[in-house]
Structures are given as C-alpha cells and as structure tokens.
Amino acid sequence: MQSSISIRDLKLSFGSFDVLKNLNLEIGKGEFLVLLGSSGCGKSTLLNCIAGLLDVTDGQIFINGKNVTWEEPSDRGIGMVFQSYALYPQMTVKGNLAFGLKNAKVPKAEIEKRIARTAEVLQIESLLTRKPAALSGGQRQRVAIGRALVRHVDVFLFDEPLSNLDAKLRADLRVEIKRLHHQLKNTMIYVTHDQVEAMTLADRIAIMKGGVVMQLDSPSIIYNRPANKYVADFIGSPAMNFYQGTLDKDNNFRGDGLSLSVTGYPFEEGRVAQNQQVWLGIRPEHIRSADAAQQCAVQMGAIVELVEPMGSDTQIWSVVDKQNYRFRVDGQTEMTEGDSIRIGFDPENLSLFDRDSELRL
C-alpha cells in the first residue's frame, strides 16, 4: 500500500491530559479512512493534528512522504470540511468558492474553470449567485465541500460534515460523498460517531477509544470479527448479546444459563480454548426463532418480553433463565409479549472474548 499519510508515535496532551497516546496510523493513497468512536475519544483532535490546526506534543506526521509536523495548514495540501459549514455570509456561493484560490493567486481563468467543474460535480450550478443565508443546510454543506474541492488538494479531511443535517438529507449527501470519492480517488479521512456512515463510506475504519485505536480494519472485518469486546459492543445496532461464562479446553461453554459446545467456532490463529473466563457474544441477526431455530446447533425455549416494530423488521427482546436475548424478525411478525418461543444459534456465528484482556479468541 502506497502511503498517503503516515502518523508516527503521535501524542497530544492538553496540560496533563493525554488525548492521543502514541498513535500510529498509515493511510493509503486514495483510501477512504473513517475515524469512528464515542464522544471525546480524540477523533477530532487527531484530524486537527493532521490538518495542522493543533500543535502536536510529540511524534510526527507525514503527508506524501513529507514531514509536515510543523508545516502551516495551508502548506499541507489538504482541504477540510467541518460540521459547521463556516461559509462567509457576505459572499455569494461563487465568492466563497473563489476566495481561497484568489488568495493563492490562481489565475482568473483557472478559477472560473475550477468553479464551473466543481459546481457541476456537486450540482450547485444554479446556486452560484446566492448568499449562504439563502441556502438550505444540505446546499451549504455542498458549498463547503466545494470549497475544499476547488483547491485540487490530495487529501480531504471531513469532521462530522453531515451531523447538522436531517436524516434524509444525511443519507443523500452520504451517497454523494461516496460517489465523489469514486470519481476523484483522493485520500479522505472522515470523522464521525455514526456507525452507518462509517460502515457505508469506509475502505477501512479506525475505531478509537480514549486516544488509542482499538481496531483498524475493513467494515466487514470490524463487524464480523471484532478484535475485542469494546469494538464488538460499539458496532451493530441493536448491540451484540453478551453472556459471561467459562470455556473449558474441550470447547464447552458454561455460564449465564447456557451450556453448549462451541466446536465449529472459528478461533483466531494461535488462540484455543484453555479453561478460561470468557464473554460469549452473539449478534441479534444470528439468533433464529420459530422454525428456523429448529435447524440450529444450540436451541432453547424463550419468553417474548418486548416487541419493537421498526417497519422493515421487528426487534424482539426475549428472556431465557433471566438472561436477555435480543434478535430481529420480519416486520410482519405476529409475535407478541408473553409468547413462548424457540430460539437458537450456531457456534460459527459466535464471538468469544477473553474476560481479562477482552481480546477476541
């Protein structure tokens, strides 16, 4: 992988509070990397370090092989799009798009050409003479993206660009950002706490917690083979079901009312069952019910406690031996509270984590 951005042993502290702790990250040329994590985990701080908006405490940042750790933001070859659109209110859309280029003394004809092309890509041609106050939130954010686009930079940094928009607009603009990336093939780093945005946009997702990267992988690996319990719990809605127990060396799990063989579970290379305390995790969509449960290796009787219709599907909260089992069924289900049902799952769909280290087994 040819590296576009390389972050080496990056540390950033505010006083005695270490926000980023010896963080290392290689971002490939043309890669769409999403930084995902709960509020306060340091995603925006990392993005601002890459942009040059914050002075790092220690470590280095390379962009296209050049050490830019102490370079001015304007000299780093990056374009940044913020949550707040940060447009100049007194200027028209065209003025906003041209502003940075004029300052950089780009020739007038070239400015015109770039604005025309950018307006076409973002479908804002008809808005060029308007001022920001006369635009909707979605249109403003397109202009903000356009302002980064006209600069012909190698790297785009997005800091929660869609979080001020309503759900429908967010979904529309998300698709457009993806299309833009396919078209331009620039390196993009995108901060969000929205897992749907992360899953749909990213080539790779870096899940952050407390200033460290908990896992860096493709969306599919993050979802299907989370490296630790934190990631497993963070990704997926509704969340993974977890049960505590012991795994003996013959692959038998016992605990939280469950007793089953996990033979068929795909252990990580080099890890085996060895009489240890574990978490057993199972995603809601891997719990089958009714007839489908009869095909599963592990089966049990459950009581339906709560039914949540979501439209296309329905979430069922069920109970077995005082333990909750959340799963999804068809939107048209006839299950109701109090029903006695059969549920089941297969060991190959489980996730197992060591209880001490919380690492995937």
Ligand X SMILES: Nc1ncnc2c1ncn2[C@@H]1O[C@H](COP(=O)(O)OP(=O)(O)OP(=O)(O)O)[C@@H](O)[C@H]1O
Decide whether 14 or 70 has the Cβ nearer to ligand X: 14
DSSP-derived 3-state class of residue 212: strand
Site string for ligand X, 169-208 (x = CB under 6 A): ------------------------x---------------
Decide whether 14 or 267 has the Cβ nearer to ligand X: 14
DSSP bridge pairs for 319: 303, 324
Could you say which of 10, 27, 31, 44 contacts ligand X (CB under 6 A)? 44
Q: What are the φ and ψ backbone dihedral angles of 232, each rounded to 5 degrees? A: -60, -40
Cα–Cα distance for residue pair 34/305, rounded to 1 Å: 37
Decide whether 37 or 245 has the Cβ nearer to ligand X: 37
Smallest distance, ligand X to C-beta of residue 33, A: 15
The DSSP code for 263 is: T
Cα–Cα distance for residue pair 244/153, rounded to 1 Å: 50
Order of strands, sheet of 258-261, starting from the edge strand that comes earlier in the sequence: 258-261, 252-255, 241-247, 276-282, 351-354
Determine if 55 is a binding residue for ligand X (CB under 6 A).
Answer: no
Determine if 19 is a binding residue for ligand X (CB under 6 A).
Answer: yes
Could you say which of 5, 25, 31, 37 contacts ligand X (CB under 6 A)? 37
Considering only the stretches 39-47, 239-247, 262-270, 311-319, report the one whose residues sit in contact with ligand X under the rule CB under 6 A: 39-47
Could you say which of 42, 52, 161, 236 contacts ligand X (CB under 6 A)? 42
For the record, the structure tokens of 259 come out as 């007793």
Nearest to 31 by CA among 202, 213, 221: 202
Smallest distance, ligand X to C-beta of residue 160, A: 7
- Amino acid letter at 11? K
Could you say which of 45, 69, 186, 314 contacts ligand X (CB under 6 A)? 45
Residues 6+ apart with CB under 8 A from 312: 331
Determine if 56 is a binding residue for ligand X (CB under 6 A).
Answer: no
Decide whether 48 or 318 has the Cβ nearer to ligand X: 48
Q: Helices 108-122 and 93-103 meet at what angle, rounded to 10?
A: 140
Q: Count of residues binding ligand X (CB under 6 A)?
A: 11
Chain contacts with ligand X (rule: CB under 6 A) = 14, 19, 37, 39-45, 193
